[in-house]
Amino acid sequence: MTTRRTFIAGTIATAASLASNSSESSAASVGRVAALEHTLNKAERGTDMQDQAEDPRITRARLSGPEQVTKNATVAELGPGGVMKVLVQGSNEWVCVAGDENRIGSPPMCMNPLGMQWMMDAMQGKPKPGNAAPGMIYMLCGATQRSNTDATDKTGPAIPIGPHWMITWPFDAQANGLPTTVRDKGAWVMFAGTPYSYLHVCGSPWEGNEYHAGDKAIWTMNYARP
Ligand SMILES: [Cu+2]
């Protein structure tokens, strides 16, 4: 009988630098590292389901994204500088972390490889993120952070940020009619005008009522500004 595992696999932490040093796409590179880990740690698995039930960090990490991706995601802890410790090895390309409730700017989140590259680059203080295509990060539990304008701010007072998801790509707010201010609904460009500018979308993409052909239609168009 295996008891709770405490193996450490820090290789994902180097995924971002690996990606930038090789000619293959960053997504493929991160995926390859994850696949390698999967193979290496397979023998140590077997009590994952028990671990998930026991460890509130794992539950919290998985709640940060939609079930569709978090169910089979790798769950990890992210230390200073982006050092990663894997708690549960997953089978898809997503990585969920529980964060630290007692630290500002350390929310639970779930990242795809390009989102993770963006996040790692930010945590490691790189002048700009290395992702060459948009990444995705879910923070559906909400968050706190230091600044809406400066990704490197380590001293500002906490800003409350509601549940949201992030498209890590530098959208031009002004050119696209997007706000740049913190709000509790809608979307805005955070860190606007900086290399870490990205699209911050409030809420969850799974909110609202679905419409399917045959449902009773309700006309919702409204010719006034909300
Ligand atoms: Cu966020």
**Mean pLDDT throughout 144-159?**
94
Looking at residue 23, the DSSP 8-state letter turns out to be S
Report if residue 185 sits inside a domain: yes
Q: Cα of 149 to ligand 1 centre, how many Å?
A: 13
Q: What is the pLDDT of residues 86-102, one digit of tens each?
A: 999 999 999 999 999 89
Report pLDDT for 54: 57
Report pLDDT for 50: 52
Provide the b/e sequence for 134-171 (b: ≥16 CB within 10 Å).
Answer: bbbbbbbbebbbbbbeebeeeeeeeeebebbbbbbbbb
Report if residue 21 sits inside a domain: yes
Report pLDDT for 217: 84
Report pLDDT for 18: 36
Q: Cα of 88 to ligand 1 centre, how many Å?
A: 22
Q: Cα of 74 to ligand 1 centre, how many Å?
A: 19
Give backbone dihedrals phi and psi of 96, rounded to 5 degrees, phi first: -105, 140
Report pLDDT for 193: 96
Q: Cα of 138 to ligand 1 centre, how many Å?
A: 7
| This prediction's pTM | 0.76
Report if residue 139 sits inside a domain: yes
| DSSP 3-state of 105 | coil
Q: Cα of 29 to ligand 1 centre, how many Å?
A: 24
Nearest-angstrom CA–CA distance, 6 and 1: 15
At position 173, the amino acid (one-letter code) is A
Cβ(96)–Cβ(74) below 8 Å:
yes
The structural domain count of the chain equals 1
**Least confident stretch, 25-29, 198-202, 218-222:** 25-29
Report if residue 49 sits inside a domain: yes
Nearest-angstrom CA–CA distance, 95 and 24: 20
- pLDDT of 82 higher than 60: yes
**Mean pLDDT throughout 127-155?**
96
Report if residue 4 sits inside a domain: no
Cβ(141)–Cβ(163) below 8 Å:
yes
Report pLDDT for 12: 41
Give the relative orientation of helices 113-123 and 26-41 as an angle to the nearest 10 degrees: 100
**Sheet hosting strand 84-88, strand order edge to edge:** 84-88, 74-78, 95-97, 109-111, 135-139, 164-168, 198-202, 187-190
Report if residue 211 sits inside a domain: no
Q: What is the pLDDT of residues 5-59, one digit of tens each?
A: 333 333 343 333 333 333 444 444 444 444 444 444 444 444 455 554 558 999 9
Q: Cα of 106 to ligand 1 centre, how many Å?
A: 10
Q: Cα of 200 to ligand 1 centre, how many Å?
A: 7
Report if residue 63 sits inside a domain: yes
Report if residue 216 sits inside a domain: no
Q: Cα of 103 to ligand 1 centre, how many Å?
A: 15
**172 lies in which domain range?**
10-202
Nearest-angstrom CA–CA distance, 154 and 40: 36
